[in-house]
Amino acid sequence: MLPKDLLQEDYIEPETITQLFPGMNTIEKEKLQVLIVLKTTRAVYEDMDAFENACLVLSNISPDTDKMEGCLPEHIWKLIKYIKRLYPEIELSDDVKSYIKFIFNDNGLYFYPEGIGIENPFLQDIKTLALEGPFPLEIDTLYGIQAMKYLKLNQESR
C-alpha cells in the first residue's frame, strides 16, 4: 500500500497511518491527513481553525492544534491554489473568508486569492501592473507596493 492509496478512504486514524507507514515523519503524516480531510470533508472550508491548520501543514509547519497561531498570506495563497485545483468552484464559509481578509490586511495586502467569494476590487489592476509593468515598479504608490507583494506571493507559493 502507498500513501496515495489512503486518499480514497473516508477517514483514517493517525495511528493507522503510523502503523502502515512507520518511516513517515510527523509533517508527512499531517500532510496526508490534510489531503484526506480536503478530499472527504468540508472541515477546512467551513472552520477557520481547520483552515489555519491546513495552511500551516501544507507549508511544512506542524501546528499546535490547541491554540490559534495565525499564518501568513503566502500559506493561505498556497492552500487556496491547491484547493482550487481540487475543487475549482469551492465555497468557503464566511468565517474562513473573514480570517483570510484579516490575515491579508494585517500583513498590508489589499487583495485576496481569486474565486473564493471575497470582493477583490483592486486585484485586476494589481495583476495588470505586476505582469505588464511599467518596470521597475514604482514602490512609492499603493498599486506599486501591492503589485510587488502579488509577485512575491506567486513566487513563494510555487
pTM of the model: 0.85
In a domain, 71, yes or no: yes
Quote the domain boundaries for residue 85: 42-112
In a domain, 29, yes or no: no
In a domain, 146, yes or no: no
In a domain, 136, yes or no: no
Q: What's residue 49's pLDDT? A: 94
pLDDT at 1 over 60: no
pLDDT at 70 over 80: yes
In a domain, 81, yes or no: yes
In a domain, 1, yes or no: no
3-state class of 105 per DSSP?
Answer: helix
**Cα–Cα nearest to 32, from 64, 1, 54:** 54
Number of structural domains the chain divides into: 1
In a domain, 94, yes or no: yes
Between helix 48-58 and helix 26-40 the angle, nearest 10°, is: 130
In a domain, 36, yes or no: no
Mean pLDDT (the chain) is 87
Residue pair 152/158 in contact by the 8 Å Cβ criterion: no
Q: How many CB atoms lie within 10 A of CB 11?
A: 10
**Cα–Cα nearest to 83, from 121, 118, 115, 126:** 115
